[in-house]
Chain A
Amino acid sequence: MEVAANTHSIRPSQQHRFRPAVVSGCIRELVREQLSGETYDSERSADLAQTLSAHITARLKELGLDRYKLIVQVVIGEQRGEGVQMASRCFWDADTDSCAKDVYMNDSLFCVAAVFGVYYY
């Protein structure tokens, strides 16, 4: 008689867990690489935001978060002394899901990159 073990996990193991510190370190590097020395330009910034979010997603796929669905949101704004506030709230499983963020500022622009990782059971 064959005995089979269940291998489908509905909880991530420690290595495959979404670790905010690791992910935010990764986004920090990428954002600084792409944006240092850049100035805010309304035409270019739209493309910049899109390519940055695509790069972040590609880099995160290499981190081994196999069972996670990822959402990367990048906001790039011009520094003109205006007030900006960004908030987010999530309805998920706090055990498995998490988010990471990074804020970058230089003289002419600011950039917020937020990554949400949601476990797929």
Chain B
Amino acid sequence: SVLDKLTESELFTVAVEGAIGGNAYQHSRVNQWTNNVVEQCLSQLSKLGKPFKYIVTCIIMQKNGAGLQTACSCFWDNTTDGSCTVRWENKSMYCIVSVFGLAI
């Protein structure tokens, strides 16, 4: 599906790297970072010009030994819709980006 191909092309990893790469976790900036990450991902997706609706979510978590679990359940058309999750980390934080694409 469309989104599987995108994982291979590392579109989202590049977007995350561009938005927050090289930064240490800062509470005052994390709001802006999450917004930047989702905006970058969404703008790359809309440039593809496919007949899809997209949902992008981003979680940024400070590294302090705590655990985090995410799960998704989707009610859609398996043949046309898909999702992709990218995990990124640096020394001070984790970033999890989930992208869902639904065909019109």
Binding site for B on A (CB under 8 A): 40, 42, 45-46, 48-50, 52-54, 56-57, 60-61, 69-93, 97, 99, 114, 116, 118, 120-121
Contacts and interface: CB of A to CB of B under 8 A. Distances in A.
In this complex, the interface size class of chain B, counting residues with CB under 8 Å from chain A, is: 35 or more
Contacts of B88: none
A60 to B, nearest CB: 8
A54 B71 CA distance: 9
B53 A85 contact: no
Nearest to A86: B59
21 contacts: A46-B69, A48-B69, A50-B71, A57-B73, A57-B74, A69-B77, A70-B75, A71-B102, A73-B71, A74-B70, A78-B67, A80-B64, A80-B65, A83-B25, A85-B34, A85-B60, A88-B55, A91-B42, A92-B53, A116-B100, A118-B55
Interface in B61-104: 61-77, 81, 83, 98, 100, 102, 104
The winner among A49, A52, A73, A97 for most chain B CB atoms within 10 A is: A73
Contacts of A114: 57
Contact of A84 (B35, B62, B74): B62
The winner among B33, B55, B98, B102 for most chain A CB atoms within 10 A is: B55
B38 to A, nearest CB: 4
A18 B42 CA distance: 23
Given A84-B61, A90-B54, A75 B75 contact: no
Interface string B26-69: 01001101110111001001100000011111111111111111
Contacts of A89: 35, 38-39, 42, 56
Nearest to B96: A75
B57 A73 contact: yes
B71 A46 contact: yes
B94 to A, nearest CB: 9
A77 B68 CA distance: 4
